[in-house]
Amino acid sequence: MTLRRVVVTGMGAVTPIGNTPNEYWENLLNGQSGAAAITRFDTTHFKTKFACEVKGFDPLAYLDRKEARKMDLYSQFAMASSIQAVEDSKLDIEKIDLAKVGVIFASGIGGISTLESEIKDFTNGNGVPRFNPFLIPKMIADIAAGLISIKYGFRGPNYATVSACASSSHAISNAYDCIRLGRADIMVTGGAEAAITVTGMGGFNALRALSTRNEAPQSASRPYDKNREGFVLGEGAGTLILEEYEHAVKRGAMIYAEVAGTGMTGDAYHITAPHPEGLGAASVMIRAMEDANMPLTEIDYINTHGTSTPLGDISEVKAIQKVFGEHALKLNISSTKSMTGHLLGAAGAIESIASILALKHQIVPPTINHSEQDPEIDERLNFTFNKAQKRPIKAVLNNTFGFGGHNSSVIFKQV
């Protein structure tokens, strides 16, 4: 069968450095860090006392008060970014076939703050089971996809993907497949996360995964720097509207980019650590390139997973050099997590938006906070350290990798 072309016709974002795609992009180019002291709870006894919280978010700008009360924060983020994206796409809900519009929306953790709060109330209530009737629908990781479809009446494929930090990239990949295989004409896809809670921070601290640079949080996320020592937890949401190319052209949609191909692999190695030689990371990039039927030389920029962990950054760099060979020296590479922190299940969504805007504006956002070269990382590679760089960009590859060895790559190209 002939596979249909898929393009991006709308975007929405709620991030630690901007609550719209334009704000987010402007702060990426300015090298703005979203890290600061945590405001949600008392961090006195925590090893890490900072994170990249979303700032100035008002759910009532998107939802009525009654609706918002029935949603966990992660779902509120999801709804806000999706409403933005639908508006940006200029979809006329009255004129499209709603049965051919679907939603695949991810979260790695779901409504952890709701679950945490309800358990705390139960414990403090002498064991009397007085639970909120909305506990389950607020908590489950698939509810954002359901809420988005209910709001607009979208009756196409509808579900969530859960693969830790690769969750929203897998959602984008699945949505892409739905359209190119003819199962839908339009898909709303992306991911949301709101895990900056006592449990979220405590759990990642226990894994020794987080930076503890409490004296200088804005410089804590430092991918590829010799002195990196863990990631910074972030939160927020990103949404893409994917659309079949001819459908988009027929309605006169503004097209940001084309989804060229995707790859999905597993490390089959360790529950939290990446393969030290980057075998899964290398194979997922190869699969994406094969799916896109593109030569390696057409990739100009890689938005890396780049979490700022000692092992993960080196593993990904090894994979890039293994796959791209000499062309790796001609690439721009950057990790926007240096500014947003790590949004877990929403990372792939907001980093796809950064990749698409880099393609649109022909500018590579920087990797900030680099001060000392890591001798284990090839200094000839261009990590776009500390300052955005203008360059011709034909295609961008976006990597996301998750605990459990879940790997996903998505390629966007000019139309």
Residues noted as catalytic: 165, 305, 342
Q: What distances in angstroms separate CA 94 from CA 153, 154, 252, 336, one per listed residue?
A: 11, 12, 16, 38
CA 345 to CA 322: how far, in whole Å?
Answer: 27
Residue 291 zone, left/alpha/beta (φ > 0; ψ -120 to 50; rest): alpha
Angle of CA points 215, 216, 220, to nearest 5°: 120
Q: What distances in angstroms separate CA 241 from CA 51, 97, 357, one per listed residue?
A: 29, 15, 14
**Token match 């009360």: residue?**
69
Instruction: Please answer whether residues 202 and 46 qualify as being in contact, where contact means their C-beta atoms are separated by less than 8 angstroms.
Output: yes
Instruction: Please answer whether residues 294 and 324 qualify as being in contact, where contact means their C-beta atoms are separated by less than 8 angstroms.
Output: no
Instruction: Please answer whether residues 236 and 80 qualify as being in contact, where contact means their C-beta atoms are separated by less than 8 angstroms.
Output: no
CA 208 to CA 221: how far, in whole Å?
Answer: 15
Encoded amino acid at 91, one letter: L
Residue 121 zone, left/alpha/beta (φ > 0; ψ -120 to 50; rest): alpha
Give, as one character, the DSSP assignment of residue 336. T
Give the residue from 82, 100, 257, 87 showing the smallest Cα distance to 185.
100
Helix (H, G, I), strand (E, B) or coil at 14: strand
Based on its alpha-carbon atoms, the radius of gyration of the chain, rounded to whole angstroms, reads 20
Residues contacting residue 344 through CB under 8 Å, at least 6 positions apart: 108, 109, 164, 165, 167, 193, 195, 233, 234
**Token match 């929306």: residue?**
105
Sort 46 into a burial class: Cβ within 10 Å, 0-12 / 13-18 / 19+: middle
Helix 279-292 to helix 310-324 angle (10° resolution) is 40
Sort 275 into a burial class: Cβ within 10 Å, 0-12 / 13-18 / 19+: buried
